[in-house]
Homo-oligomer: A and B are copies of this chain.
Amino acid sequence: MSLLVVGSVALDSVETPYGHKEDVLGGSATFFATTASFFTPVRMVAVVGEDFPEAHVDFLKSRRIDLEGLTREPGKTFRWKGRYGFQLNEAQTLDTQLNVFQSFAPRLPASYQETPYVFLGNIHPELQGQVLDQVKRPRLVAADTMNFWIQGSREALLKTLSRVDLLFVNDAEARALAGEHNIVKAAQAIFRMGPSRVVIKRGEYGALLFDGEQLFALPAFPLDQVFDPTGAGDTFAGGFMGTLATSPTLTHDTLRQAMVMGSVMASFTVEKFSLERLREVTLPEIQDRFAEFKKLTHFEHIRPVAS
């Protein structure tokens, strides 16, 4: 089934201990859509400027991403510049130029309005709400957010969250949103805001899924080379939602598989700059890494010896 994403399409400049790149393809919608397109048809709502290279548009089209909702506006494309140290978990933002993104008002083409799976990328919660106003009876609405909105636009965020089924956040965001340090209690507090499922992203430490009373924990794949973590979170969400969108039923087991597939895809993204690794990764590689996750985490039952 199709999957709608609204978010940013950007030109990123990134410095890591392993090199730097200028004005490469980035943005939450880009990473999400490219990843999800391995699994399901994707519809994108986003905006770019006059300077956005046509080659990037061609790449997205080649991934069978529906770009009817991608508008080109006068001005420049959204730009983000960041740096990572050896501690690759968190980026230091050096510069943000919103450009055409500043006046972004997501408008859905008529053909998008009945999309069953919706992912609201990390944009202003009011804009996320405007997207929900335009979709009809979605099967599942997922959203991402960040501390900037949690602290600066709490009212609007809570309004949007009341319409969201599944929230993706990291540890710090979950704690800030819930006002609760313990992560189990934080997830329970977020349930009371609307979402019935919460995914906690923990970077190199993996991810947690709170699905009502059920709990799933997955470590990240230990890589001997992490090149550029940019886009890992959106890649995770893309693999997760892409997996859900292709599953006949939405069971708890499917959500677990979606967690693994999200982690599989994110583990590829960080191996190279920008979308370089996602551009070249093959389905057999994806299947192999899924199997490696199984090997990584599997253990046999044991019977403790009586004392």
Contacts and interface: CB of A to CB of B under 8 A. Distances in A.
17 contacts: A37-B307, A64-B307, A86-B181, A182-B224, A182-B225, A184-B222, A208-B219, A215-B222, A217-B220, A217-B222, A243-B302, A253-B299, A253-B300, A261-B302, A261-B304, A290-B301, A291-B301
B223 A184 contact: yes
Contact of A283 (B202, B302, B306): B306
A137 interface: no
A59 interface: no
A259 B217 contact: no
A219 B218 contact: yes
A140 interface: no
Contacts of A148: none
A260 B304 CA distance: 12
Interface in A206-248: 206, 208, 215-220, 222-226, 243, 246
* Number of identical monomers bound together in the oligomeric complex: 2
Nearest to A216: B296
A215 B283 contact: no
A294 interface: yes
A139 interface: no
Given A184-B223, A257-B299, 17 more contacts: A38-B304, A38-B307, A183-B204, A202-B205, A206-B206, A206-B217, A217-B219, A243-B302, A253-B299, A253-B300, A256-B298, A256-B299, A260-B302, A261-B302, A261-B304, A290-B301, A294-B299
